[in-house]
Amino acid sequence: MLTILLATACVDRPKPVARSAADVCTGVAHITRHDGRETWMTARLDDLGRPVLHESWSDRDLTALSAVYEFEYDDAGNPIEERIYDGDRALLVSEHWTWRDGDVEIHELVDGEGISVYRETSTFDAAGLRTEMLIESYYNSGSVEFYDYDDHGRLVHTERNALTYEAVLSTIVTTYLRPAPSPDRIEVLDYGGAIYRQEAFFHDEDFQVVHQERIYPGSTPIVTDLTWTAAGKPETVMITGGMVYDRTMHQWTYDDGNRELVHLVDSDFEDDGVVDFGTITQWTWTGC
């Protein structure tokens, strides 16, 4: 499934670089699980290297499709729709984005029956900063979020209120310390004054997160260390600590052009360092 990271402040989003018509890629991924089971995925990219079709097969029946994903983009390169089907090509859900000057104005999920199950509607100020976002959900009452920024346009406070009553459900207080010594950014999430989670972010000179510490009261901190390629693609992610993880590692390898993913290793380790769960994904590309 396509994952979109949405910033709460207006930022410059890099645009894809066009390839020649001969550079349209198709890929096949062979996935091997730690228990020996295997499965396959296929992908097709457009001339800008964006996914337009993704298919997954069941690891219990390699002749049966388990899911199909289709993607569409606007002329600016922004994703505008993702459709997810089951193995019988029945539409399960579609995801829609409406863009305003590089920012997401409307983000909506619609189920296979055409019912909107989730919708975000954003409001921006004259500087292009998101000031309010209305969240409507089919499953609950929804909420509304408000955003405040410092004089440099950096987010410093977010408040979320339920639509059914005026009590504050959660507050995210973000403090930017850059260019002071690390951490560059601290976020505190509290519910009605009670701290639920604190996070500290450490960035490199390109302002990509290289170290993150997440702390829940009474729990061991969850520490995430990241490395990035020169092209700004993820290279390694190591997660340690907390109540869920002992140690989890993700490793990405790309082709010689640093464009397409060719190898992905996901590993979960036991206390003694032995991998007790993991998958290896090997991609083969043609036409790139």
Whether 50 is covered by a domain: the verdict is: yes
Domain residues for the domain of 228 are 219-267+275-288
pLDDT tens digits for 45-103? 998 889 999 999 987 777 788 999 999 999 888 999 999 999 888 999 999 999 988 89
Q: What pLDDT score was predicted for residue 66?
A: 92
> Model-level pTM greater than 0.85?
no
Calpha distance 66→41 (Å, rounded): 10
Domain for residue 145, yes or no?
Answer: no
Evaluate whether residue 73 is within a structural domain.
yes
Which of 67, 89, 111 lies at the terminal end of a domain, its last residue?
Answer: 89
- The one-letter code for the residue type at 5 is L
Q: Does 252 reside within a domain?
A: yes
pLDDT mean for each 10 residues of the chain (288 residues): 31 47 80 90 91 89 88 93 94 96 94 94 94 88 86 82 65 63 76 83 87 90 94 92 75 89 90 74 92
Of 69, 89, 109, which residue is a domain's last? 89
* Residue 74 belongs to a domain: yes
Query: CA angle, 112 as apex, 107 and 87 as ends, to 5°?
Result: 115
* Ramachandran bin of 169, using left for φ above 0, alpha for ψ from -120 to 50, beta for the remaining angles: alpha
Would 135 be classed as within a structural domain? Answer: no
Task: Assess if residue 82 is contained within a domain.
Answer: yes
Q: Residue 200: inside a domain, yes or no? A: no
Total number of domains constituting the chain: 2
- In 3-state terms the chain splits into helix, strand, coil percentages (rounded to 5) of 0, 60, 40
Compute CA distances 154 → 162, 199, 252, whole Å.
Answer: 25, 17, 31
Residues contacting 120, CB < 8 A, separation 6+:
104, 106, 107, 108, 133, 134, 135, 136
Which of 39, 62, 89 is the endpoint of a domain?
89
